[in-house]
């Protein structure tokens, strides 16, 4: 009896986390956290379309994902998420290549060097907003339109996931514009979680802590390591591959009832 229950449980688990036939769109997916998410979905059998601005990085990312040996389809498109027409065209091209999008990960974003608030220019403020906030809006709007249409035709399934940041919870000197964008997308996510649930679409945000990436390379100096990374209970930087599991989970049927959440992946930093 126990053995039978174990087999049943294992079979159900494998079925719920099997992403065969599912298509994920990941913006900023050619490096860092986005690449980690893509790897997790590919390993679970899913299909992935990466959006990134640099073709060379896109091509390298596709090669790395194909080297994982999974059977899913993997493509990449050049896209600037701050450009409305570019986003709409890229989404149309994604549908041409894959036929559908089941999960949309609005992960593309930018950081900035320490900029005192009183010296922050309006151009710098608007640039941050255009990518970290406008880009999320444009990307998710395109995905939501597609997912709602599918739901109306009897195919209700959608996952919207936003990469936010602990900067939306904790103040960071010199990062008012960055924190503002991340707080804004948290609010957007909660609104969409309520509004779009009727179409079988769930919306969640992921709040990474201090993760090794191109964006954080400039922070790898002794004073920062001593004053900040030492406060992470796990005493280290996070790694991009540690986002594989959460991406595969949120894409799968295992997360059917998981909606409107802010999921922190920070090594416990926020609790210190």
Q: What pLDDT was estimated at residue 217?
A: 57
Q: What pLDDT was estimated at residue 173?
A: 83
Given the structure tokens 């027409």, which residue do they identify?
85
Contact 136, 106 (CB under 8 A): yes
Element (H, E) at 187: helix 176-195
Q: What pLDDT was estimated at residue 223?
A: 63
Write the CB contacts of 47 (distance below 8 Å, at least 6 apart in sequence): 21, 22, 23, 24, 72, 73, 74, 98
Q: Write out the catalytic residue numbers.
A: 178
* Bridge partners, 103 (sequence order): 24, 159
Q: What integer is the mean pLDDT of 94-123? A: 94
What would the pLDDT profile of 210-253 be if each residue is shown by its tens digit? 787 676 656 666 666 666 767 777 677 789 999 999 999 999 99
Whole-model pTM over 0.85: yes
Give percent of the chain with pLDDT exceeding 90.
Answer: 72
User: CA-CA-CA-CA torsion for 126, 129, 134, 139, nearest 10 degrees?
Assistant: 130
Question: Could you give the strand order of the β-sheet that contains 23-27, starting from the edge strand earlier in sequence?
Answer: 74-78, 47-52, 23-27, 103-106, 158-163, 201-208, 262-265
* Bridge partners, 49 (sequence order): 25, 75
């Amino acid at each position: 009896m126990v053995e039978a229950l174990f087999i049943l449980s294992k079979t159900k688990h494998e079925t719920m986390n099997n992403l065969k036939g599912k298509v994920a769109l990941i913006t900023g997916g050619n490096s860092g956290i986005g690449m980690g998410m893509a790897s997790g979905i590919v390993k679970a059998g899913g299909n992935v379309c990466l959006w990134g601005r640099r073709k060379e990085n896109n091509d390298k990312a596709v090669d790395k994902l194909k080297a994982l040996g999974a059977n899913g389809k993997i493509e990449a498109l050049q896209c600037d998420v701050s450009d409305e027409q570019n986003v709409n065209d890229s989404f149309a091209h994604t549908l041409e290549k894959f036929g559908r999008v089941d999960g949309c990960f609005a992960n593309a974003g930018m950081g900035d060097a320490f900029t005192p608030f009183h010296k922050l220019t309006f151009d710098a403020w608007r640039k941050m907003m255009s990518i970290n906030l406008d880009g999320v809006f444009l990307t998710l709007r395109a995905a939501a339109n597609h997912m709602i249409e599918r739901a109306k035709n009897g195919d209700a399934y959608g996952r919207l996931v936003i990469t936010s940041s602990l900067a939306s919870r904790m103040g960071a000197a010199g990062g008012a514009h960055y924190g503002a964008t991340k707080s804004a997308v948290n609010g957007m996510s909660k609104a969409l979680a309520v509004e779009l649930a009727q179409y079988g679409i769930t919306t969640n945000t992921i709040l990474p802590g201090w993760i090794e990436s191109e964006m954080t390379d400039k922070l790898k100096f002794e004073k920062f390591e001593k004053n900040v990374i030492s406060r992470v209970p796990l005493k280290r930087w996070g790694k991009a591959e540690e986002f594989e599991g959460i991406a595969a989970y949120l894409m799968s049927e295992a997360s059917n009832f998981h909606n409107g959440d802010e999921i922190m992946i920070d090594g416990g930093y926020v609790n210190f």
